[in-house]
Structure 1
């Protein structure tokens, strides 16, 4: 059963009209019951919370509209930025395997109620691994856009400057928010708080922060998606990997992805070439983000020269310029 403190907190928030706090505590009760093995009770509590929210705003959790964007308040406002995303999976250029894996995440979360009826859970906790500019941040935006959920990005400049004695409590605030407000919660550069405990430069406080993060991930029963991204998986503590439902690897774009990416981005112009090999060769080794910047530089130059044809050499020069800037 729920603790006396939770019952008191529920009554207090109800009496004081603190609706959001009431939902937060109620979700904590549901998580407590689930941890005790009372999955049916936990699900009933979550259903009641959803019904209560829907009665206040008919669009919540339905396909008729996105989950209302509730801006973080108080101390939480310094830890999270919140916005809507209009990105869709079709906006990304991905290889077939990666596209299928993201489609599966989206499909499971759209149909989470059906899964929960069979005591199954959708993939909610994802670790995205890959080089800079390979599409990890864009994936968080796409998931938020496809699921019509607000995107909450963790602000490390505030979180990490409060390391000494406070970061674990700040993390708790973030994980409590996941229960109170369903959304996509994005931890970019996750190695900032997930570094290995055996690191020789480590201090006891940072180890405690990591232990808290491990515990919060393990115990999280919220309806939100947790997306963590890192360019350096080798720095992450090994215990973190099994806390995630899926670890998705991102790579530099293949030749076919490079060609598709460029074709998509210059679709409003004519191309002066028919042989793609020189273009693809010029782009190899660059991330998607760098290729997109090179394409944008080329398109801007074409527009300013009032032309309707993208010149092959102009695009190759832009790609080489990006490559020199990236690898210097």
Structure 2
């Protein structure tokens, strides 16, 4: 329908919920996604251009300031003994203001945080808050940062479990350490991330290796299902197609992390380069050059351009510097095995 701006139900919901919550960052991300969708459909109407100008003005006038994080523990004790090899503990300080994600993902994160903050109220009425999460998407799209944000916003430590180490252990040792991890979660509330569950799946290995990993994955799935702690359990994967239905159904929700849209690319750069003059940046060229890169790669390119700006004694980041840095990141990807 040429000349008309069409919003999907997901766009309307994300805009309405973020407006109601007073979350300007999520509102702007949802609006940017709507504008991008219209562009992909070939909509060049005046309404779309008016929205685009409104969004640009809003971004220029409201640089997101990171709110003071909630009180958190000042120190942590790293695990010892059999847990030391597979588990580390940290206290992240990353907040929602540091995230630049699609409107849909941000809406889901807000839902998780809201339910966690009102967990006692929900349990009093017979409902459990969302706490078993599967994060799906390419590397560098914000899954690990999401874990840090959940922990910082809820004033909890992050327990990081090395599933790649489990994959190298004997079945007996792996099962023992898995039990210890879940025992710890029952005693100490935190956000526990099991990063890259793909490590427990070895489709190209020998039969003996597949059998061992299958036993470990089955035990891991059983622990997920049986866990009744108040900790958040977060599992990440780059290849969800390898996970079978018995594994997938253990999660309360699945968050899908796509590569950044045009609006999110701009948001990533704006957040990374707070304090720099970006008034002359030609955003369409930057967005086009960043196409196909992850949030992490775009952020790294922005940092490279900023450092060059500092070394040149300037306050203004030029379009050419950003484009050169983005092309350098793309070239590095081509060189990766």
What is the TM-score of this pair, normalised by structure 1? Answer: 0.76
Change (3 A) 1:208 1:201: closer
Find the counterpart in structure 1 of residue 283 from structure 2: 276
Do 2:138 and 2:258's aligned partners in 1 also have CA atoms closer than 8 Å? yes
Find the counterpart in structure 1 of residue 140 from structure 2: 133
Note the C-alpha offset of 1:267: 2.8
Note the C-alpha offset of 1:327: 3.0
Change (3 A) 1:148 1:183: same
Q: Secondary structure at the match of 1:185?
A: strand
| Pair 1:184 & 2:197 matched | no
| Pair 1:229 & 2:236 matched | yes
Give distance in 1, aligned partners of 2:202 and 2:142. Answer: 22
Number of aligned residue pairs: 266
Note the C-alpha offset of 1:303: 0.5
Deviations 1:152-175 (A, max 9, x none): 101245433323422112111111
Find the counterpart in structure 1 of residue 318 from structure 2: 311
Contiguous gaps of at least 5 residues in structure 1? 1-62
Give the alignment's Cα RMSD to 1 decimal.
2.2
Find the counterpart in structure 1 of residue 116 from structure 2: 109
Do 2:115 and 2:129's aligned partners in 1 also have CA atoms closer than 8 Å? yes
Find the counterpart in structure 2 of residue 82 from structure 1: 89
Change (3 A) 1:125 1:287: same
Q: Secondary structure at the match of 1:270?
A: coil
Find the counterpart in structure 2 of residue 293 from structure 1: 300
Note the C-alpha offset of 1:214: 1.5
| Pair 1:216 & 2:223 matched | yes
Change (3 A) 1:325 1:201: farther
Do 1:136 and 1:229's aligned partners in 2 also have CA atoms closer than 8 Å? yes
Find the counterpart in structure 2 of residue 18 from structure 1: none
Contiguous gaps of at least 5 residues in structure 2? 1-69
Runs of 4+ in structure 1 over 6 Å off: 198-201
Find the counterpart in structure 2 of residue 327 from structure 1: 334
Give distance in 2, aligned partners of 1:206 and 1:165. Answer: 11
Find the counterpart in structure 2 of residue 147 from structure 1: 154
Change (3 A) 1:74 1:200: closer
What is the TM-score of this pair, normalised by structure 2? Answer: 0.74
Change (3 A) 1:264 1:204: closer
Give distance in 2, aligned partners of 1:274 and 1:139. Answer: 28
Which one has a bigger Cα radius of gyration?
A: 1
| Pair 1:168 & 2:190 matched | no
